[in-house]
Amino acid sequence: MRERHALVGSSPGFPAQVRRFLGADKTALAAWLVLGFFFVLALAGPYIAPRDPVESNYREDGSLVRLEPPSREFWLGTTNVGQDVLSQTIVGARIPIEVGLVSAFFVVLIGTNVGLIAGYFGRYIDEILMRITDVAYGIPFIPFAIVLISVTGVGTTNIMLAITLLLWRTSARVIRAQVLTLKQRPFVLAAKLSGASDFRILYRYIAPHVLPLTLLYMAFGVAWGILAEVSLGFVGLGDPESISWGQMLFYAFRSGAIRFAWWWTLPPGIAIVLTVASFYLIGRSFEGIADPRLRER
Amino acid sequence: MRAYLIRRFCQTLIVLFVVMSLVFVLFRLLPGDPTAMMVDQSLDQLARQRLLVEWGLDAPLFQQYLTFLKNIAALNFGESFYYRQPVWQAISSSWWNTVVLMGTAMPIALAVGILAGAYLGWRRGSRMERFGIVLALILRSTPIFWLGIIVLMVFSYWLHLFPTGGMREAGSSGEGLLSTYLSMDFLHHMGLPLLTATLYFLVDPMMIMRTSMLEIKSEDFLEHLRAVGFSETALMRHCARNALLPVVTFASIMVGFVFGGQVLLEIVFAWPGIGREMVLAIDRRDYPIAQASFIIMSCMVIGMNFVVDLLYSRLDPRIRYA
């Protein structure tokens, strides 16, 4: 008992661990800060935006402020119908981030469970689940999403559905491989011998060991989800009632403004790159926790 | 080996069959009359009825499903509403255009990615490595269509070095395979899409190669070779050869997402490939073309996955063909 106590005492408390982690990984800290910024935009965008993002702006003489380069009045210029690019970029943060977070949650939920069950039970259950995974790998994602959304109708929910239906495949394979090795470890045998049910072994003893991997794929999943959402928006399948970064680029491309209107194409693109990169960096820092060997590198 | 091959082949067939069945269901859910899939809605009642009977669309669904599978096996995808000709005839050239573009971009991306990754892994801790990693992170976070837009803005609209899209100058048309794909005009048009695709697809092989190099670098055989007196470049080569395996595994996954990115790339550069054709067809409600394009893309992904699997088992003798 005393020994155990000593062990517990020797490991630093949780706040200290967090502090050490944040201090050790400066890039992850930077990523969290960038994300914090975009989360604020996603949550409070309409209140922060200086103008109504869909309203056309007119000059005093009544002419449309069309494709105007950045000025003191319009910091990031205007679109071909006189909308404020800055306001659109701010308000457009919500949908990609929301789609990324929600679909990543479901992607990882399905992927982790498929991986756990396939890896643990093996035999024909494994065979069936892995063949289903193969099927998911056999379908090209963007074409599938385009067709599915044409079937179900344009909208944010359907974009999330398309992402969830296919992208669980990666985490399922990776987590299954991990479970296959975990299953051989003595603690699983010990649990089995002491009469624990399969369910208990799987979710109580094995699942915590794959949690870091799950978190890693959660972070990657958000990154993929955002990229998928903006891609579908760019094809013109976003919700026409709302604004997102992908749709901004769709309109910029379709109107031919990409010829010269860098103020219209750069802001949404840079916002996408920063958000997605932050999620990748955070995923990488989870990876450092999951696999201590990587910390040295 | 033989048994493994056969088993893998059967699994591939099953996957193919399931995917085709999903396609059958998916395309019959498209908006409009379920026969909208196969019979042009703009035809008059009598002509429609005749076609419905001719193509067996008045038969029960299960019967139709069997006909569907039989037709796919025979590469008979029906008739395009828009082009008014058999689907395969209408899209075979777009298929070739996609294959030419991606078939060039992928080997280049793999080769450059592997070399760069080997170098980065070997020169761990150098400024070069740092730069490579940051570049990789940025490229991995960039949507491919936006990368394409930026490349277009810089090289085409700003520097006027390349055409803005399409595959050849307006007015000129390719006669035969050789003159289509081997003219300067074609290569000039392919420059930017190729650059974008290569940049986009080389990141993953590069990063995987780098990680794999780091793992192999600490192995004893390299110390041994170093003691024997191998030069640094020779050591790097030996290390790289052993580090290649995970890249091959990854290649199979890469094939899958190449056929997603390529759709967006074709839209940005107005490249008349099969992905762009599919998007246009859905817009035009030309469902036979859309369905055929989707089937062809899936078949390519599944087929490539199979090929990569075989390649992998040949490369790594440790895999047991159980």
- pLDDT for A260: 81
- pLDDT for A1: 37
Q: How far is CA A141 from CA B249, B258, B261, in A?
A: 19, 10, 9
- pLDDT for B316: 65
Model-level ipTM above the cut of 0.95: no
Tell if the CB–CB gap between B31 and A280 is shorter than 8 Å: no
Give which of B10, B29, B95, B145 to mutate to test A binding, by max A Cβ within 10 Å: B145
pLDDT digits (tens, 9 = 90+) for B151-181: 988 888 888 777 777 776 655 555 555 566 6
- pLDDT for A275: 92
Instruction: Judge residue B138's burial from the number of C-beta atoms within 10 Å of its C-beta, 0-12 exposed, 13-18 middle, 19 or more buried.
Output: middle
Q: Is A172 on the interface with B (CB under 8 A)?
A: no
Q: Is A140 on the interface with B (CB under 8 A)?
A: yes
pLDDT beneath 50, residues of chain B: 320-322
- Please report residues of A whose CB lies closer than 8 A to that of B278: 143, 146-147
Q: Give the span between the Cα atoms of B74 and B287, in whole angstroms.
A: 19
How many CB atoms are closer than 10 A to CB B252?
A: 18
- pLDDT for B40: 63
Gyration radius of chain A's alpha carbons: 24
- Please report residues of A whose CB lies closer than 8 A to that of B157: 258-260
Gyration radius of chain B's alpha carbons: 24
Q: How far is CA B182 from CA A184, B189, B190, in A?
A: 57, 12, 11
Of chain A residues 73-92, which have a CB less than 8 A from chain B?
none
Tell if the CB–CB gap between B22 and A139 is shorter than 8 Å: yes
Q: Give the span between the Cα atoms of A72 and B297, in whole angstroms.
A: 49
- pLDDT for A97: 92
The distance of Cα B255 from the centroid of its chain, to the nearest Å, equals 5
- pLDDT for A290: 58
Instruction: Judge residue B251's burial from the number of C-beta atoms within 10 Å of its C-beta, 0-12 exposed, 13-18 middle, 19 or more buried.
Output: buried
Residue linked to tokens 């003893």: A205
Are B298 and B19 spatial neighbours (Cβ–Cβ below 8 Å)? yes
Give me the tens of pLDDT residue by residue for chain A, a chain 297 residues long.
344 444 444 445 566 666 665 555 677 788 888 888 889 888 887 888 777 777 777 777 777 777 778 877 777 778 777 788 888 888 888 899 999 999 999 999 999 999 889 888 878 888 888 888 888 888 888 888 888 888 888 888 888 998 999 888 888 888 888 888 888 888 888 888 888 888 888 888 888 888 888 888 888 889 989 998 999 889 888 888 788 898 888 988 888 777 888 888 888 999 999 999 898 888 877 766 655 554 443
Q: How far is CA A78 from CA A96, A135, A257, B100, in A?
A: 22, 45, 11, 39
Nearest to B167 by CA among B273, B61, B262, B241: B273
Instruction: Judge residue B141's burial from the number of C-beta atoms within 10 Å of its C-beta, 0-12 exposed, 13-18 middle, 19 or more buried.
Output: buried
Q: What is the number of alpha carbons within 13 Å of residue B287 lying toward its C-beta? A: 21
Q: Give the span between the Cα atoms of B275 and B260, in whole angstroms.
A: 8
Query: Which residue of chain B has the CA closest to A294?
Result: B211
- pLDDT for B173: 56
Q: What is the number of alpha carbons within 13 Å of residue B157 lying toward its C-beta? A: 15
